[in-house]
Amino acid sequence: MNNLIVFPIILPAITAIILIFIGKNALLKRMVAFIGTLITFLICMLLMFKVHQNGPIHLELGNWPVPYAISLMSDGLSILLVTTSSLITLLIIFYSYQSIGIDRERYYYYASVMFMLTGINGAFTTGDIFNLFVFFEVFLMSSYVLMIIGGTKIQLQESTKYILINVTSSAFFVLAIGMLYAVVGSLQMADISQKIKDVDPTIVSIIAILFILVFATKAGMFPLYFWLPSAYYAPPMPILAFFGALLTKVGVYAIMRTYSLFFSTSNEITFNILLMLSIFTIIFGCIGALAYYDMKKIIIYNITIAVGVILLGAILLTKDGTIGAVYYLIHDMIIKASLFMLIGIIIKITNQTDMRNISGLIKTYPLLGWTYFIAALSLAGIPPLSGFYGKMFIVKSLFNTQHIFSAIVVLISSLVVLISVIRIFLYVFFRESHSDYPKVPIHKMLIASVLMTLTAVLFGLFAGDLYPFIESAAKSLYQPDYYIHHAGVK
C-alpha cells in the first residue's frame, strides 16, 4: 500500500511519454495532459488523507534495507506541496489552452510540463540527497525546454543565461553532495542527519554554506537572485506562471529540509547567514517591486520577497515559525500562479506589459478586475484571505525569539507588496480610459484564474480547518526526530 507514494511521480512521467508519442494533434494532447494531471491530483488528495491519518509514509525502493535503498518519504510537508503543485499544474494546463498558442502546443509543450511536474513531485518526495539532485535536474531540464520553446529572440538570449546559471549551481550541488558523502558516508537524508552529529562542526558548516549557495541560487535569494527577473521575463505567460509558482519553491523546500535535518544542530553560523540573506532578499525584492512599471517585473520581484519571508519563518525552527512558513509557502504557490495568470489575461487583451499604457479595463472586464483585486489583497495578507495566517505566525515567532528588526522588515514588506500590486490595479483598471479594448476570447483563461484565486480565498477562509494538516507538515521541520523516526532509521 505504501507504493501509492510513487504515483505522483510516475503518473506525470507516463503521461509525458504518452504525450511524446501521440503526434501533433493538439486537441488530443490537451485531453491527455489534463486527464493525467487530474488523476495525479486525485491520488495526491487520497495520499494526503492517508498521511494525515496514519502518519508519514515511507517506501524503500527495491526492498533494500534503509540506508542502502533510495527511499521515498511522504511526510505532511511534502505531500502538501505535491498536492499544491499538482493542482496548480492542472489549472495552468487548462489556462494554456487559450494562451500558449497552437505551435508551441504541437511541439512538446505539454510533455515538458508533465516532465517538470515529475521532477518537482519527485524533489518534494525523495528521501535521498543524490536522488534530490537527479529530480532537480529532471525539472530543470524541462524548464530549459519550456523557457526556450518557441525560440523568439528574447527567449534565446535569456534561456542561455538561465541554463548557464543552473549548470553552474548544479555542478556545485554535486560538489556539495561529494563533500557530504566524504565526511558522512551516507546519502539517505534521515541517515545523514543521524550520522552528521558525530562529524566535526567546522566541516559541517562549510558544507552547509555550500548547500545554501546552491539552493539560494535555485530559490532566488539575495545575492544570487540576479538571474531571476530577466530569465522569468522571457517565456510566455503560462510558463512564467509555472516557474513563478513552482520552481523557486523547490529551492525553498530544499533549504528548509536540509537545514532542519542536517545543519540545525551544527552551529549559529548557518542560521545567521540564512537570516541575513532572507532579510536582504526581502529588502531587495521590495526595491524591485516598487521600481518598475512593468507588470510582469513587479510580480517577479514579489516572488523574491515571498522567498525571503518564508525562509525567515522556516529557519527559526520554532513551532510557530515553521507553521507560518508552511502556511505561507502553500499560499504563495497558489497566489503567485493566480496573479501571473491574471496578468497574462491583461497582457493578452491589451498587448502591453507597461501598466502606464493601459487604463479603464474595469468597464469591459469587471470580473477580471475584481478577481485581480481579491488576489492582490490576498497576496498582501489582508485578514480573511490566505496570506494573513502565514505572516501572522511568522511575525509572532520572530517577536517571540527577539528578532524585532526582522519582524518589522516582514511587516513593512507586506505594505510594499500591497502598494506594488494595488498600483497595477489602479493604473490598469481604474483610470479614465482613452481607448477601447476589443473583446478577445479569454473565457478559459478567466475560468482557470478565477478558480485559482478561489482556491487562495478558500485556503484563507478554511485556514482554521486546515491547521492540523499544516501542523503535521511543520512537525518534521521543528522536530527532525519525527522525520528520522518515520524514515525507518534506527
Partner 1 sequence: MEIIMIILSGILISVAVYLMLSKSLLRIIIGTAVISHAVNLLIITSGKLKTGQAPIYDKHIQKYVDPLPQALILTAIVISFAVTALILVVAYRSYKELGTDNITTYKGVPEDE
The verdict on 39 binding partner 1 (CB under 8 A) reads no
Judged by CB, which is closer to partner 1: 35, or 156? Answer: 156
Question: Site mask, partner 1, residues 354-373, x = CB under 8 A?
Answer: x-------------------
What does the DSSP 8-state code read for residue 235? S
Whether 311 contacts 221, CB under 8 Å: yes
Question: Would you mind telling me the total number of residues written for the chain in this entry?
Answer: 490
Phi, psi of 323 (to 5 degrees): -60, -45
Beta bridge partner(s), residue 294: 354
Phi, psi of 407 (to 5 degrees): -60, -40
Q: Least separation, in Å, of the C-beta of 317 and partner 1?
A: 29
Whether 477 contacts 77, CB under 8 Å: yes
> Residue 147, Cα to own-chain centre: how many angstroms?
17
Beta bridge partner(s), residue 72: 59, 126
Write the CB contacts of 444 (distance below 8 Å, at least 6 apart in sequence). 94, 95, 97, 98
Among 37, 78, 98, 159, binds partner 1 (CB under 8 A): 159
Among 171, 408, 411, 412, binds partner 1 (CB under 8 A): 171
Q: Least separation, in Å, of the C-beta of 434 and partner 1?
A: 21
Q: Least separation, in Å, of the C-beta of 16 and partner 1?
A: 16
Q: Least separation, in Å, of the C-beta of 178 and partner 1?
A: 4
Judged by CB, which is closer to partner 1: 302, or 397? Answer: 302
Q: Least separation, in Å, of the C-beta of 170 and partner 1?
A: 8
A 10 A CB-CB count for 488 gives: 19
Give me the half-sphere count of Cα atoms (radius 13 Å) on the Cβ side of residue 476.
30
Judged by CB, which is closer to partner 1: 174, or 412? Answer: 174
Q: Least separation, in Å, of the C-beta of 160 and partner 1?
A: 6
Judged by CB, which is closer to partner 1: 149, or 275? Answer: 149
What Å distances lie between residue 178 and 139, 172, 210, CA to CA? 21, 10, 11
The stretch among 41-49, 171-179, 373-381, 387-395 that binds partner 1 (CB under 8 A) is 171-179
Write the CB contacts of 405 (distance below 8 Å, at least 6 apart in sequence). 279
Residues between 54 and 113 that touch partner 1 (CB under 8 A): none
Q: Which residues bind partner 1 (CB under 8 A)?
A: 130, 134, 137, 141, 144-145, 148, 151, 153-161, 163-164, 167-168, 170-172, 174-175, 177-179, 181-182, 187, 229-230, 233-234, 291-294, 297, 354
